[in-house]
Chains A and B, each alone.
Chain A
Amino acid sequence: MTDVTMTVNGQTRSASVPPETTLLQLLREHFNLTGAKLGCDVGDCGACTVIVDGQAVNSCLMLAGQADGRQILTIEGLASRNHLHTIQKTFENSGALQCGFCGPGVLMSAKALLDENLNPSTREIRDALSGNLCRCTGYTKMIEAVQDAARLLREEPRTQITHARTEVTAS
């Protein structure tokens, strides 16, 4: 068994799992965080995207042991205190989530992009979302939603943005 301790959405958690457990399985089956989805299990569809140490990764392609000691942010950690994350708001308003299965992964990719770049071009957005496949909504509304979110986040005072993140990571 592999013993792991990591910070998940701001809370430290431990588990003892078989070594072949993926980070996705650890989150879904051991921590009951079912927001990240299993779509293809080989890193093509992006439905399992979570943020590890600030970087978007396919959690189906990471062993639980590799995530030991790291900071994991999942879709469940995006909203806080009766407060939707701006990306969640704009995705909802743009109708960018239809069946919703790809949604959590797309939102995490968008979050990773906007954490680094608050003024992304359409090309940069497309590039950041190229690892997330969607079959219902298509990508136009998602790109709109990311652009709207970027604009809102730029307008919001910087402190408030970091506030939303520390809110989640503190505790």
Chain B
Amino acid sequence: MNEHSRVLERDKLNIAEPPSDVDLRLPVQVPREPYPIETLTPDARQQTRAVGQRATRPDGRLHGLGQTKYIDDLSFPGMLYARIKRAGIASARIKRIDTSAAEAMPGVMAVLTGKEIPTNSFGPTFQDQPVLADPIVRHAGDGVAAVAALTEQIANEALDKIVVEYEPLPAVLDPVAAMREDAPKVHAPDSNIYATKVIRKGDIEKGFAESDHIFEGRYSTQMIEHVSLEPHAAIADWDANGRLTIWATIGRITLARSDIARTLKLPMSRIRIVGTIVGGNFGGKNEISQEPALALLSKKTGRPVKGVFTRGEEFTATTTRHPIIMDYKTGVTKKGRILARQIRLVLDGGAYCSWSATTLGKACILSPGPYKIDNVVAEAFVVYTNKTMTGAMRGFGAPQVCFAYESQMDDIAKALKLDPLEIRMLNAFDEGSSSPTGQVLHSVVVKESLRKAAERFGWEPRS
């Protein structure tokens, strides 16, 4: 560190002359001249040359200037700030909510509970998630009431004044335990297993019978939050004509519109969703969350309402990556050729479905790995637990099963004293191989990729 330059900076501290009153009244606009923003329209003739070219993002300039407007950078006259009270209990029945003290606070403009939501459920696959829990709380991050106030500070204080009485209910936190008949039901009376997928190929018993060795292993992964740098945020404006405009950090605005229309019992033609620039999604912003509550708060107050999740809410009240418990049983020949693989996946689905069914399918299809295996059984279950809901995240279940099958490949290679690269080369898909679901594969470059990667990082058998 250069102390000298720091001193120089500090010397400039003193404000030489007090600026004139006229100056002080100006907004801070720097520079006063226009920013260097060009129209970055790609030249049509250049487009075919895009492949292999170094491209810059068309929005990169604005990002670098700090001029990109994300939701939290927008505000409207009279705008209110919303906050949601979270249950903080994994499984309970709400006996009573008293919002009177919050409503009486100066600056609090409206309070909303689950009872006031026209259709209190949503979800991209099953509509099993309430906007605000009523009366059953299924995970600690469930919202139980929402407040709109003049400032965020008042809204936060109002949350503290909302009294909620809970009757605690038994909770189920372990997905395997949740599959048992006698487990507490997260969505009573339905079973906790809410989606399954089974893939069968060849004759698994015959495959195991012909195998020289059988390896069994359990692999599991943890819950992961997307942690997009921009928290979930939205602004809702329900105007006097009954038209609703929502600015939202959502990747799928048409899906959001139909979900919001359903929860509000409002025709889709009355709803306009403005998809703003999203500060990171990774699958975590593919569905609605607080938007219907903000819309109703806007309707109640006649003013635009903004809601921005705290970093804590991002972890407890938005979707996450599925933890999966993965049981692998694999039969191989002495030389390491895989003859049969049986897989059982239990996905911890959290309290609500979200994109679990999609994740389940993809995880199951990919679970045997990119290997030629004639005899496969893959069964996958996704189960409700009283935990933060799991949903879409980069890869939809593919990274979890990859961790499992590649870990087992290493385990097998080690036991058979084979080179980890060789056992993969022996089993990997070729051009024209068929996947466990019978899809004939084209443009297959698994072996070439492995060989090239091994070459580049200087792989040499260690044993």
Chain A positions near chain B (C-beta within 8 angstroms):
5, 7-14, 18, 20, 28, 31-42, 45, 47, 53-55, 69-71, 74-84, 88, 91-93, 95, 97-104, 107, 115-117, 133-136, 167-169, 171
- The answer to whether A93 and B31 touch across the interface, beta carbons within 8 angstroms, is no
**Minimum Cβ distance to chain B for residue A61 (Å):** 14
Of B6, B24, B30, B311, which one neighbours A168 at CB under 8 angstroms? B30
- The answer to whether B15 and A54 touch across the interface, beta carbons within 8 angstroms, is no
- The answer to whether B66 and A169 touch across the interface, beta carbons within 8 angstroms, is no
**Which chain B residue lies CB-closest to A13?**
B28
- The answer to whether A103 and B63 touch across the interface, beta carbons within 8 angstroms, is yes
**Which chain A residue lies CB-closest to B14?**
A69
**Which chain A residue lies CB-closest to B59?**
A100
- The answer to whether A95 and B63 touch across the interface, beta carbons within 8 angstroms, is no
A-B contact pairs, 18 of them (CB 8 A): A9-B30, A11-B26, A13-B28, A41-B310, A41-B311, A53-B9, A71-B9, A74-B66, A76-B28, A79-B36, A82-B35, A99-B228, A99-B281, A100-B277, A102-B229, A103-B64, A135-B228, A168-B30
Partner-binding segment picked from B69-77, B179-187, B262-270, B366-374: B69-77
Which residues from B are CB-within-8-Å of A54? 5-6, 8-10
Further pairs besides A10-B30, A79-B65: 5, Cβ < 8 Å:
A47-B229, A54-B5, A78-B65, A95-B55, A135-B280
Give the complex CA separation of A20 and B277 in angstroms: 30
- The answer to whether A38 and B72 touch across the interface, beta carbons within 8 angstroms, is yes
Which residues from A are CB-within-8-Å of B23? 11-12
Whether a CB of chain A sits under 8 angstroms from the CB of B39 is no
**Which chain B residue lies CB-closest to A35?**
B66
Give the complex CA separation of A36 and B229 in angstroms: 12
- The answer to whether B279 and A99 touch across the interface, beta carbons within 8 angstroms, is yes
Which residues from B are CB-within-8-Å of A83? 36
- The answer to whether A115 and B280 touch across the interface, beta carbons within 8 angstroms, is no
Give the complex CA separation of A103 and B279 in angstroms: 10
- The answer to whether A101 and B70 touch across the interface, beta carbons within 8 angstroms, is yes
Which residues from A are CB-within-8-Å of B73? 28, 34
Chain B positions near chain A (C-beta within 8 angstroms):
1-2, 5-6, 8-10, 12-13, 15, 18-19, 23-24, 26-28, 30-36, 55-57, 59-70, 72-73, 153, 226-231, 277-282, 308, 310-311
- The answer to whether B2 and A12 touch across the interface, beta carbons within 8 angstroms, is no
**Which chain A residue lies CB-closest to B62?**
A100
Nearest 3 interchain pairs by C-beta: A35-B66, A54-B9, A100-B63
- The answer to whether B2 and A32 touch across the interface, beta carbons within 8 angstroms, is no
- The answer to whether B64 and A84 touch across the interface, beta carbons within 8 angstroms, is yes
Which residues from B are CB-within-8-Å of A99? 63, 228-230, 277-281
- The answer to whether A92 and B64 touch across the interface, beta carbons within 8 angstroms, is yes
Give the complex CA separation of A116 and B10 in angstroms: 13
Give the complex CA separation of A136 and B285 in angstroms: 14
- The answer to whether B31 and A81 touch across the interface, beta carbons within 8 angstroms, is yes
Which residues from B are CB-within-8-Å of A95? 55-57, 60
Which residues from B are CB-within-8-Å of A18? 153
Which residues from A are CB-within-8-Å of B68? 100
Give the complex CA separation of A37 and B249 in angstroms: 15
Which residues from B are CB-within-8-Å of A45? 229
**Which chain A residue lies CB-closest to B230?**
A101
Take A53-B9, A97-B64, A100-B63 as given contacts and tell me if A135 and B282 are in contact as well, using a CB distance cutoff of 8 Å: yes
- The answer to whether A39 and B230 touch across the interface, beta carbons within 8 angstroms, is yes
Give the complex CA separation of A8 and B12 in angstroms: 13
Which residues from B are CB-within-8-Å of A13? 24, 28
- The answer to whether A12 and B13 touch across the interface, beta carbons within 8 angstroms, is no
Give the complex CA separation of A107 and B56 in angstroms: 17
- The answer to whether B67 and A53 touch across the interface, beta carbons within 8 angstroms, is no
Take A81-B31, A99-B280 as given contacts and tell me if A135 and B60 are in contact as well, using a CB distance cutoff of 8 Å: no
Give the complex CA separation of A167 and B32 in angstroms: 11
Give the complex CA separation of A103 and B230 in angstroms: 12
Of B2, B63, B310, which one neighbours A116 at CB under 8 angstroms? B2
Which residues from B are CB-within-8-Å of A70? 13
Take A9-B28, A92-B56, A97-B64 as given contacts and tell me if A79 and B35 are in contact as well, using a CB distance cutoff of 8 Å: yes
**Minimum Cβ distance to chain B for residue A64 (Å):** 14
- The answer to whether A37 and B229 touch across the interface, beta carbons within 8 angstroms, is yes
Give the complex CA separation of A10 and B30 in angstroms: 8
**Which chain B residue lies CB-closest to A85?**
B64
- The answer to whether B230 and A81 touch across the interface, beta carbons within 8 angstroms, is no
Which residues from B are CB-within-8-Å of A38? 72, 231, 308
Take A100-B62, A100-B68, A107-B64 as given contacts and tell me if A133 and B30 are in contact as well, using a CB distance cutoff of 8 Å: no
- The answer to whether A12 and B18 touch across the interface, beta carbons within 8 angstroms, is yes
Give the complex CA separation of A99 and B70 in angstroms: 10
Give the complex CA separation of A164 and B153 in angstroms: 39
Give the complex CA separation of A34 and B71 in angstroms: 11
Give the complex CA separation of A133 and B279 in angstroms: 13
Which residues from B are CB-within-8-Å of A98? 57
Which residues from B are CB-within-8-Å of A35? 65-67
- Residue picked from A82, A100, A101, most chain B C-beta under 10 Å: A100
- The answer to whether A39 and B12 touch across the interface, beta carbons within 8 angstroms, is no
Of B13, B57, B72, B278, which one neighbours A53 at CB under 8 angstroms? B13
**Which chain B residue lies CB-closest to A97?**
B63
Which residues from A are CB-within-8-Å of B10? 53-54
Take A12-B18, A117-B2 as given contacts and tell me if A71 and B13 are in contact as well, using a CB distance cutoff of 8 Å: yes
Give the complex CA separation of A134 and B61 in angstroms: 18
**Minimum Cβ distance to chain B for residue A161 (Å):** 12
- The answer to whether B229 and A7 touch across the interface, beta carbons within 8 angstroms, is no
Which residues from B are CB-within-8-Å of A37? 70, 72, 229-230, 279
